[in-house]
Each structure stands twice: as structure tokens, then as C-alpha cells.
Structure 1
Amino acid sequence: MSDDRTEPFSPPADRLAGLATPEVQRLAARMAQDAFTRIFRLTLEGDQAGLRVAVAEIGRLAKDWVQAADGDEARALRLALLVSGIDQWGLAWCQAFGLTAIPAISALLGALRNGMDAGDDARLQQQFAAIGQGESDAVDFKMELRRNIHLALWHAMIACEDRDEALSILAALGGMLVALVAQMPTIGWRLVADALALIQLRCVADAAASTDLARETTEALFAVLRRTLPRETSEPMFAQANQAVIAWQRSRRLH
């Protein structure tokens, strides 16, 4: 009997696609990344004036984008995607770098919800619940968001010169990937396979990945996943990642 994990995969229908198309979902994930990156950079620089300007500007642009949706439910979903995405970036960075909070991110999340009435808040909570209700609901948002978070953490890890800091990020990233598989049994391991394929491709192109510490931590990340995940999950996961790398290499040779 064949393992259905090796068969071509068609995810269940995204029940939120009628309110937010795949393109809108991916845009929400990128907007969340851009917002977090800008706020975190200014936080590291200690630029309090810049942070206030950024929070106000990001909040205004985000609200304009939310209001452009057609209907209250679609607007609530756009806002839920943005808030969820920014929050997940913040949580990932807090885990990886041992932070208790990022105050400017909290301020931004609060600004995005300012001015909401009881009806708006109820619709927002409903859309939050809808995003998490099914693995394939808002799947394009989830794929774009997790891919970018995982890659950003890997880049941060291989850029480290301090071994203890690199190992701390390694532990956080490995834990996130394992947790993702547990939280999303059908799609999660495929998202991890996507991340592993991209990491392997970046290892070829990114000079930072060639240092001894970068190689050590990258190899350790793969080893953690092989050791921690059940064999029936890890084998197809690594096989899918390797197939993606091989396909990319073949396409390069054709060009």
C-alpha cells in the first residue's frame, strides 16, 4: 500500500478565499513582514521619534488597505490577517532572541484596532477564529508568512558570529518547525519541506552560509528535524525538499 504522503497533493478548499483571494492573502503576509521589519529595525536603533512616525504611517496605510475591501467581513479578514501576521513575527523574534516583548509592535497592533466598535471587534474575532479553524483556510497567507519567518530566522542564525547566540536561534527555529508539523498535520510538514528546500538553495548562493558556524547550525537544524519528527513524517518531508532542489538545479541547467 502506498503512503498517501508521496502522492500528488491537493489541499482542501480554502473557505476564506471568497473574502480574500490568494493574492490578497500573500500581500497581507508581505505587509505584515514589512511592518515588523521596519519597526524592529527602528527599535534596535533606539529611534523613538522614528518609531512613532512608523507606527502612525503603517497604521494609516494598513487601515486604508483594509477599508478598500468589499464588505464588512472582507475588511475584518484583511485586518485579522495583518494583525495575525505582525503578531506571529513578533512572537517568533521574541522566542529566538529571548525577548519578553517588543513595545513598538504592541503599540502598532493597538493602533490597528483603534476606533473599532463592538460590531467591528466581533467580526474581527470571528475572522481570527476562521483563520485558525482549518489548515487550508487562508493557506496562501500561512504559506507566505511561515516561509518568510523561517528564512529570516535562518538568515539571522547563519549571520551570527557568537556561537551561543546562533545555537539559541537554532533551538527556537527548530522548535517552531516541529510545532508547525504538530499544529498542521496535513500541510505543516509540507511548509517545513518548502523551508528546507529554500535553505538548501540559499546555502549555494549565500556566502554567509559557508562559514563553519553557519554550516554547523544548518546541519544541526536538519538533524533536529530528523531526530524529533516521526519517520513517516520526516522521510516524505525531506524527499519533497530534495525534489524541489533537484528541480531547481535542472531548470538552471536548461537556461
Structure 2
Amino acid sequence: MNEAVSLPPDSLAELAAPDLQRLAARMAQDAFTRLFRLGLEGDDAALQSAVAGIERLSRNWVRAAEGEDARALRLALLVTGIDQWGLAWCQAFGLTAIPGISALLGALRNGLDVAEDARFQQKFAAIGQAECNAIDFKMELRRNIHLALWHAMIACDDRDEALALLAALGGMLTALAKQMPTLGWRLVADALAHIQLRCLSEGAASTELARETNAALFTALRQNLPREISEPMFAHANQAVVAWQRSRRTMH
């Protein structure tokens, strides 16, 4: 496991270029974040209006793709992203459902004819069939999910809540590294590098509890992952941090 390893190609890149994949991940994040906040506020009318608005914008974006397969993949990326945000939040915060998310996911698939639904199902499955498929989407998606949970963890004032989020985030990162033996550790390394950069550039994790849980996260990953995974993973993350520090010195 090193940078010289030749990675398999992304078989979906012809239908969705890397920039578009990353855009899909950000759109999914924006949709989830908006609906989650409205759900917390308890304004059903505003929530329903937001679901309708996000559905409309999403459909317009899907229709803008050239070709039926490309449109099916755009929809599959959005549904995958929104669903994974919802699953991560339910797991981390012990939720059974998130108002608006199920409604949006259902709305995005409503109206598909038999052929369109079959193409959607095919592309939805293709995203998970190979680690390298839609890898730029997966990288952007998982990074933002993990960073959001990390920010929630270090913002906790309550120790029990912070430890619960620590366990959830650590479990997600460990599972990702094990479930994707070729690329999973790279996705985790990317998240760890961004965590370290937030600490260096923004002074994040500055409270005693935040520093404790942040350190515990790194320790847990070292303890729970085999050395053949953890060593290149941490080396990869550290290289990214060193490169950032060098670029800062060059700029100044």
C-alpha cells in the first residue's frame, strides 16, 4: 500500500467526470444539512417547501446531463449521498428517522418509468460494486461526513455526548478502511489529514475535552486497524500535512 500502486480506473468517470462527482457530493450535503436543520426547528410547512424545492433543483440538474445513462448516474449519486448522510447521522446520534430525508429520497424516484428506474438501479448498484467507481464522489462525500461528525464531537461540552460521537466516528472510519481494502485507507487518511489541518490552521479542538477525544480518535484507529493498513494510512495523512506546512512557509 503506497503511492506507487497503480489504482484501477473509475468505470463511471466517462458518465460523470471527477468535478461533477464532487459537485454531486456537495449537493447531497447541502440538501441533507438544510432538511436536517428544518426538521430540528419543527416547521413542517417550511420542511415540505424545502423538500419540494430541493427535488425541483435536483431534477433540473439530472435532466441537464447528456444521455439516459448519465442522467441515471446523476440521480444515483444524489440519492446515494443523501442516504449516506442520513445513515451516518442516525448512527452517530441514535436517530431512527430524519424528517424530510425519506420524503426527499422518495420524491426523487417518484415519476421514473420502468426503464428509467431500471437504469437508476443499475447505476446505484454500480457505485458500490467496485471501490474505484465514483471515487471522487466517495472521497468528497466521506470527507465531509467525517469532518462534520468530528466538528460535532469537538464542539461537545458534555463528556458522554463527546465520547458517543467519538465511538461512532471511530467505528465509521475503521469500518471504511476494512470494507474497502484498496482505497478505504486512503479515504480515511484524507479525513485525518483534513482534521489535522483544521487543528493547525483554525485552532480547532482547543478545549481539554476536544483535545482528549481528538487524540483518542487517532489512538483508536491505530489500535483497531491492522498495521498494514494503519501505517500507510497515517503516513499518507502526515505527508499531506507536511506538504501544507511547506506551502505555507513558501508563501510567507
User: C-alpha distance in 2, partners of 1:136/1:90?
Assistant: 23
Cα distance change of structure 1 residues 37 and 131 upon mapping to structure 2, 3 Å threshold: same
User: C-alpha distance in 1, partners of 2:243/2:55?
Assistant: 41
Unaligned stretches of 5+ residues in structure 1: none
CA RMSD in angstroms comes to 1.0
- 1:171 maps to 167
Larger CA deviation: 136-145 vs 6-15 = 6-15
Unaligned stretches of 5+ residues in structure 2: none
**8 Å Cα contact 1:159/1:208 also seen in 2:** no
**8 Å Cα contact 2:190/2:237 also seen in 1:** yes
* 1:208 CA displacement: 4.4
- 2:145 maps to 149
- 1:55 maps to 51
- TM-score in terms of structure 2 length: 0.97
Q: Does 2:65 correspond to 1:69?
A: yes
**8 Å Cα contact 2:35/2:99 also seen in 1:** no
User: C-alpha distance in 2, partners of 1:236/1:94?
Assistant: 30
- Of all paired residues, the percent bearing the same amino acid is 75
- TM-score in terms of structure 1 length: 0.96
- Which structure 2 residues correspond to residues 194-213 of structure 1 after superposition, within 5 A? 194-213=190-209
User: C-alpha distance in 2, partners of 1:175/1:7?
Assistant: 25
User: C-alpha distance in 2, partners of 1:53/1:205?
Assistant: 38
- 1:106 maps to 102
User: C-alpha distance in 2, partners of 1:162/1:9?
Assistant: 43
User: C-alpha distance in 1, partners of 2:168/2:115?
Assistant: 37
- Which structure 2 residues correspond to residues 85-234 of structure 1 after superposition, within 5 A? 85-234=81-230
User: C-alpha distance in 1, partners of 2:4/2:152?
Assistant: 33
Q: Which amino acid aligns with 1:14?
A: D
Q: Which amino acid aligns with 2:83?
A: D
Equivalences, count: 251
- 1:14 maps to 10
User: C-alpha distance in 2, partners of 1:229/1:37?
Assistant: 31
Residue from 233, 237, 240 that aligns with 1:241: 237
Matched residue SS, 2:88: helix
* 1:121 CA displacement: 1.1
**8 Å Cα contact 2:198/2:204 also seen in 1:** no
